[in-house]
Structure 1
Amino acid sequence: MTVTRLYAVIPVHNGIEHTLPMIRSLLPLMPPQGRIVVVDDGSSDGTSAILEREHPEVVILQGDGNLWWSGAINMGAKHALDESADYVLLLNNDTVLHPQFLEELIAGAHEFPHSLVTSKILSEEQPQVIWSMGGRIDWLKGRVWMAGFGQPDDGSWNEPVEADWLPGMSVLVPADVFRQGIWVDEERFPQYSGDSDFSMRAKNAGFRLITYPKSRVYNKVNNSGLDTRLVKGLETMTVKKFLESLTSNKSSKKLKVNARWLMRHAPIWSWPMMTGRLYGYYLLKCLQLWFGLSKAKSTTGKACEDPIQRQAVRVPTEKEEQ
């Protein structure tokens, strides 16, 4: 499928200081028939008014503050489909864009048709450090992680990689995914795990998940709300904060969300190991802190080594497979 009518969907809730420069950098990169759709989910910092004044060409959809990421993506994607989009680009408002990111992402979609294609994501704070080359899963070891995380961008990850799941940042999605009834599950996964669940269901429906490293974007790692504060703040963790992390939509540790994800995707025999991996270290460090056994340390910047491969393996195109 040729990428012509491309709609970029950007969910926002405040953060105009991130949204405005990102929009300004994205506008000149859009194809002639492309449109930018900002879903403003109840911002109180004047996001909509500022965007309307500065960039009237941007489509602004209004949420009520309860859409979260998943609901906002669905609202934007529905608008895109109503406008006959052939691709929907998922973007975060605090992403820093490389000038060639979209051109290369579109090239990746042409090289790998019938695929969800994402960029190589690097750390904005450390531009030579990889944040994601796509998601990986090892059910046997109970691990869910991002390939390449924490590794230097030294050329080892310069070939396309097939993923098990994709983070929802700079993902080019064929509109046919939504037309086949595969939407982000905003009821079960309003924020965290919405992206992995969505991409895994697309993969189960026959779409490929490809990381195309010629396309590059930069993630503001330190701007991720409660989950970042929890990881960075283990040394000051309180029982109240710990309990909040198990119930808040802003936390990747929310029990209900992770239970739903396991029941939908994971083999039953992997549940104990997966749960232990997800909560064991976290709980242990909190208990050590509370009982004075040791000082908890931040895990920020700790690399998750890929046990299957240290270097990327080139993914063959459909023509090469035939």
Structure 2
Amino acid sequence: MLYVVIPVFNRLPYTRACLNSLRQQTRTDFRVVVVDDGSTDGTAEVLANEFPEVEVVTGDGNLYWTAGVNAGIRRALALGATRVLTMNNDVLALPDFIERMLAYADQHPTAVLGALELDAATGEPVYGGERLDWSTNTRHDLLKELTPGERHGLHPVTYLPGRGLLIPLAVIEAIGLFDEKRLPHYLADFDYTSVARRHGFPVFCNYDARLSTYPEESGQEQTRRQRSLRGYLQHLFGIRGGGNLRNFTHFSLKNCPRPYLPYFLLNGYARRLAGYFMH
């Protein structure tokens, strides 16, 4: 049984729209777990009244993304999940999303699968996975490298984001849950999928399964929208900071091949220190 795990903290309109998109799926043989981490905008009441079919896990407001997802996965496993699909609440699943994810999951039962992401405003693809050259810290954007005719089926990637990530039970049994201690928010998803790949599990972006996303609503974009010294420090050191130096160090030490580690770290630090002002 597939369980969809969605961590939420406020932003009720997104949560409602996301859950409604899951109600409209062409396949309905899945269940949903929402981890409500202390929302104060009426999320709990709406979940109880409008979405009684959803399993709810309640947090105290201090879980952040990683611990929230882990709490949802633990509940899903206790309920008998054989596959888990993590999602963020600010995505919309196209009607055949679950069907197309499960179709490939059946063909590749040990694979970790992500999805093609579309801009909710334009319908244009905005993310289709990356391949990372560790030796130069160079990211190869598959959307830029694949022709329109090649944008279908599965494509191997280095890592995947957690906003539409299908994880087989075999992966969880082999490598455990997300690293909530060292990576409480950002990079936990890239780390998890990198660790899975290093343990021999295939990691693919599924171009036939599509999610609509809101690129401008990401935490990194909001931090950079109004640049300031406070925002810069938040970017580098805050738990939600997209350039968090501590998180990047943990990710690198765990996943970068040792011969490339010194350059990868120095290059990554430089990019984070300067990148806040360059986007």
The answer to whether TM tops 0.5 is yes
Write the distance in 2 (CA, Å) between the matches of 1:283 and 1:181: 32
Write the distance in 2 (CA, Å) between the matches of 1:285 and 1:203: 28
Write the distance in 1 (CA, Å) between the matches of 2:48 and 2:7: 16
Secondary structure in 2 aligned to 1:43?
A: coil
Matched, 1:262 2:252: yes
Deviations 1:130-166 (A, max 9, x none): 32222321112113465326x8983342232011111
Which of the numbers 245, 248, 268 marks the counterpart of 1:278?
Answer: 268
Partner of 1:312: none
Give 2:230's aligned amino acid: K
Matched, 1:229 2:222: yes
Which of the numbers 11, 14, 22 marks the counterpart of 1:15?
Answer: 11
CA contact (8 A) 2:27 2:96 kept: no
Deviations 1:159-193 (A, max 9, x none): 32011111112111112222234210000111111
Give 1:7's aligned amino acid: Y
Write the distance in 1 (CA, Å) between the matches of 2:174 and 2:41: 37
Partner of 1:26: 22
Write the distance in 2 (CA, Å) between the matches of 1:8 and 1:33: 11
Q: How much has 1:41 moved relative to structure 2?
A: 0.8
Give 2:185's aligned amino acid: Q
Structure 2 matches for 1:300-315, cutoff 5 A?
none
Structure 2: segments with no counterpart, 5+ residues: none
Deviations 1:265-318 (A, max 9, x none): 1134434443454343554477xxxxxxxxx66x3xxxxxxxxxxxxxxxxxxx
Partner of 2:33: 37
- Change over 3 Å in CA distance of 1:248–1:144 after alignment to 2: farther
Write the distance in 2 (CA, Å) between the matches of 1:40 and 1:284: 35
Matched, 1:174 2:164: no
- Change over 3 Å in CA distance of 1:144–1:191 after alignment to 2: farther
Write the distance in 2 (CA, Å) between the matches of 1:180 and 1:262: 21
Coordinate RMSD, CA, aligned: 2.2
- Change over 3 Å in CA distance of 1:152–1:142 after alignment to 2: closer
Give 2:30's aligned amino acid: G
Write the distance in 1 (CA, Å) between the matches of 2:215 and 2:114: 18
Give 1 or 2 for the bigger CA radius of gyration: 1
Query: Once superposed, which parts of structure 1, at least 4 consecutive aligned residues long, lie more than 4 Å away?
Result: 30-33
Secondary structure in 2 aligned to 1:180?
A: helix
Equivalent residues, number: 279
Which of the numbers 228, 233, 238 marks the counterpart of 1:243?
Answer: 233
- Change over 3 Å in CA distance of 1:175–1:146 after alignment to 2: farther
Matched, 1:132 2:132: no
Write the distance in 2 (CA, Å) between the matches of 1:210 and 1:269: 26
Matched, 1:186 2:180: yes
Q: How much has 1:232 moved relative to structure 2?
A: 3.6
Q: TM-score normalized by structure 2?
A: 0.91
Matched, 1:106 2:96: no
CA contact (8 A) 2:27 2:98 kept: no
Q: TM-score normalized by structure 1?
A: 0.80
- Change over 3 Å in CA distance of 1:75–1:31 after alignment to 2: farther
Structure with greater strand percent = 2
Which of the numbers 69, 75, 88 marks the counterpart of 1:92?
Answer: 88
Partner of 2:143: 148
Structure with greater helix percent = 2
Q: How much has 1:213 moved relative to structure 2?
A: 0.8
CA contact (8 A) 2:26 2:96 kept: no
- Change over 3 Å in CA distance of 1:96–1:152 after alignment to 2: farther
Matched, 1:207 2:201: yes
Q: How much has 1:33 moved relative to structure 2?
A: 4.5
- Change over 3 Å in CA distance of 1:34–1:123 after alignment to 2: same
- Change over 3 Å in CA distance of 1:152–1:181 after alignment to 2: closer
Give 1:111's aligned amino acid: Q
- Change over 3 Å in CA distance of 1:231–1:143 after alignment to 2: farther
Give 1:243's aligned amino acid: L
